[in-house]
Amino acid sequence: MAQLTFREAIARGIAQEMRLDESVVMIGEDIGAAGGVFKGTVGLLEEFGPRRVRDTPISEQAILGAAMGAAMTGLRPVAEIMFADFFAVCWDIVVNEIAKSRYMTNGQMTFPLVIRSGNGGGLRFGAQHSQSVENWAMMIPGLKVVVPSNARDVIGLMAASIRDNDPVIFLEEKALYSSKMDVPEGDIVDTLGTAKVLRQGTDATLVALGNMVPRALQAAEELAEMGIDCTVVDVRSLVPLDTKTILRETSATGRLFTVEENPRLCGWGGELASIVSEEAFYDLDGPIVRITTPHIPLPAADALEDMAIPSIERIVTTVSKSMNS
């Protein structure tokens, strides 16, 4: 057992797969000698060399164009887009080429491609470098979308993503890069499309993603002191989505609260609310409540950013008010 930070787990997960499969390569800006702008690829250039770990110019379109071509011709590339906000620069390649080409070739080509990126706010980077874009990716047919919340899951889900024959958007929460946890030695391989129940309760179900998972867990502990016992579910994978686990845990408590960092309009929690309303309506004891970031550009000012992103205090206040109304 070793204690790893979230960013160290990224490098370990990629290295695990690169050692097992010569076709796994990395491509991106400053991922080589610099070890990544968020230090998520430290040591990979030294171990695997410049043939398999390739630095690129500052061009998101070039990075993904090259990665798509590599995937089409037998490699399994891991491409880095530094900030998830920058998907806007290369979204045409993602949406109209990478996501659709396996379908449009009737499966004659596969696209085993992972696109990883720093996602979310909390670090005072401002409106153009702090967006949570998981809902952008979730809506595109042909893409898988993964958002881990801890170091162990980073390794296992990275391995599963690299081994998958479909393109995977792998979003790394920037606010979690320095978080630590004990991680077992040896190879770790997880399964896409599986949520995890991190805490079992009887009164309400909190469903969270990425950086909102540790906040939901802490909020659940504070709510327990107030007499409200909460289940906490880590979604982990938006596509495929583990509706079975979410429906089961919601039906068990009768109350559902989603905790989302993305802006409220068209956020992933709205889709969950729709699914639960259709498939478990008569198991609900009250309205589904979404705890989200408002539909605004994220501020850079400390107090304003903290007010916008769901906090432990806001989760506790919202759940307790709803449960006691």
Helix, strand, coil: what percent of the chain each, to 5?
40, 20, 40
pTM greater than 0.85 (yes/no): yes
Q: Do domains 2-183 and 196-323 have the same CATH topology?
A: yes
Mean pLDDT of all residues belonging to the chain: 97
pLDDT, tens only, 177-196: 999 999 999 999 999 999 99
Residue ranges in the chain whose pLDDT is less than 70:
none
pLDDT at residue 120, as a whole number: 97
The tally of CA atoms less than 13 A away on the side-chain side of residue 76 is 20
Amino acid at 104: M
pLDDT at residue 325, as a whole number: 79
Residue 62 corresponds to which tokens in the numbers above? 């070039």
The three-class DSSP label of residue 62 is helix
Q: What is the DSSP string of 109-122?
A: S----EEEEEE--S
pLDDT at residue 241, as a whole number: 98
Instruction: Say how far apart CA 43 and CA 45 lie, in whole Å.
Output: 6
Architecture of domain 2-183: 3-Layer(aba) Sandwich (3.40)
DSSP code at position 297: P
CATH 3.40.50.920 fits 196-323, yes or no: yes
> CA angle, corner 151, sides to 148 and 152, nearest 5?
90
pLDDT, tens only, 114-148: 999 999 999 999 999 999 999 999 999 999 999 99
Other Cβ atoms less than 10 A from the Cβ of 106: the count is 7
pLDDT at residue 116, as a whole number: 98
Residue 129 corresponds to which tokens in the numbers above? 């470098």
pLDDT at residue 1, as a whole number: 81
> Active-site positions?
129
Going from N- to C-terminal start, the domains of the chain cover: 2-183, 196-323
